[in-house]
Amino acid sequence: MSNVEADEHAEARDGAPVRGGRPTEPPPIEVLPAREVPLGGPRAMSVRRTLPQRTRALIGAWCFADHYGPDDVTATGGMDVPPHPHTGLQTVSWLFSGEIEHRDSLGSHAFVRPGELNLMTGGYGISHSEVSTTDTTVLHGVQLWVALPEAHRNTGRDFQHYAPEPVRVDGAEIRVFLGSLAGDLSPVRTFTPLLGAQIVLEPRAAITLAVDAGFEHGLLVDSGEIRMADTPLRPADLGYVHPGVEALTLVNESDAPARTILLGGLPFEEEIVMWWNFIGRSHDDIAQAREDWTSGSRFGTVHGYDGSPLPAPELPSMPLKPRGRTR
């Protein structure tokens, strides 16, 4: 999905307090509210964006999170994103309902369906299109990005598809699409340690999940009233958990199933510059990527899409500034 909004620079702060050389109790859960962002066009979808924002730019290497739907495509026209470029990142597509046709300049032609992961690696440069299919009546899901570390930022194009089997744990169904959780392990390759999983809790169910204490985590609520630790989370909220936590307790306080997406990863210590659909390390990286897209080089050609590529917006008048992990 194309990121048409230039997000603000995220401020960096000092690390967690330490007493006597030992870390204190981890800070309480931070609730990150979403903001509505239009994707463009008079009938286009709007999305709820929780990453990046001023108070928190990344969760592990997760640097972008859009949550959209349920979207009645008869009213909005659904999703029709022309070929557009990516560099320095991986895109993670996960649907709750509907179907999206994916084409990219690697030659991949695939469909995003509920409960199935499509992960595309931009690396040095890739372009792709995304179109909801004619069979789709309601479109609902998340679009996520992962920042590539400097050592792999210019890696080659890649595309992976994976359909995780559901795992049942204490009144919850879990689908692990990246990393490991609840005894399940995804085979999908990433460039930093990550966790990505859909967790659906039965009405009034409670679960406690062992997690990697070295990770920071974020729980995005799609539906239901969730309590994580002692913090209530409502639909579209993202609850952030600092590193140092060995288990997460989730409670569905509603009388209907509750659906969430759990993200996690080792803190990403590099600063990044993110603008439009590009991730670099400097303003010049972004300017070069934009020039290459405009000139028709570097990103390849998407075959099979009926329409013109998406033009790049103008760069801001002020130089783009790096953003880092908020501590």
Q: What is the mean pLDDT of the chain?
A: 90
Is it the case that residue 11 has pLDDT exceeding 60? no
Longest dimension (CA), the chain: 64
Encoded tokens for 201: 């809790």
Residue 186: which residues within 8 A CB-CB, separation 6 or more? 117, 162, 164, 176, 177, 178, 179, 180, 196
d(Cα 186, Cα 206) in Å, to the nearest integer?
24
Given a cut of 90, whether residue 38 has pLDDT beyond it is: no
Distance CA 200, CA 298 (A): 41
Closest to 39 measured CA to CA, from 4, 15, 13, 75: 4
- The sign of the torsion formed by the CA atoms of 222, 33, 176, 252 equals negative
pLDDT in tens, 292-321: 999 999 999 999 999 999 999 999 999 999
Q: Two tokens at 287?
A: 């300017």
More confident residue, 48 or 10: 48
Cα Rg of the chain, angstroms: 19
pLDDT in tens, 65-121: 999 999 999 888 888 999 999 999 999 999 999 999 999 999 999 999 999 999 999
Calculate the dihedral angle through the C-alpha atoms of 171, 176, 182, 185, rounding to the nearest 10 degrees.
150
> Which residues contact residue 25 at a Cβ distance below 8 angstroms, ignoring those fewer than 6 apart?
none
DSSP 150: G
C-beta of residue 298 within 8 angstroms of C-beta of residue 291:
no
Q: What span, in angstroms and rounded, lies between the C-alpha atoms of 142 and 261?
A: 9
Dig out the tokens for 206 from the structure. 């409670």
Residue among 92, 134, 136 nearest 117 (CA) = 92
Question: What's the rounded Cα separation, in Å, for the pair 248 and 190?
Answer: 23
Please name the amino acid found at residue 108: S
Per the confidence metrics, is the pTM higher than 0.95? no
The C-alpha atoms of residue 98 and residue 151 are separated, in whole angstroms, by: 36
State the distance between the two ends of the chain, measured CA to CA, in whole angstroms: 28
Per DSSP, helices labelled H in the chain are 73-76, 283-295
**138 in helix, strand or coil?**
strand
Half-sphere exposure (Cβ direction) of 80: Cα atoms closer than 13 Å: 13
Q: How far apart are CA 224 and CA 141, in angstroms?
A: 15
Q: What percent of the chain has pLDDT over 70?
A: 89
Which residues does 56 contact at the CB level (< 8 Å), separation at least 6?
A: 10, 30, 32, 240, 326
Summarize pLDDT for 116-155 with one digit per residue, the tens: 999 999 999 999 999 999 999 999 999 999 999 999 999 9
Residue-level pLDDT at 195:
98
pLDDT surpasses 70 at 22:
no
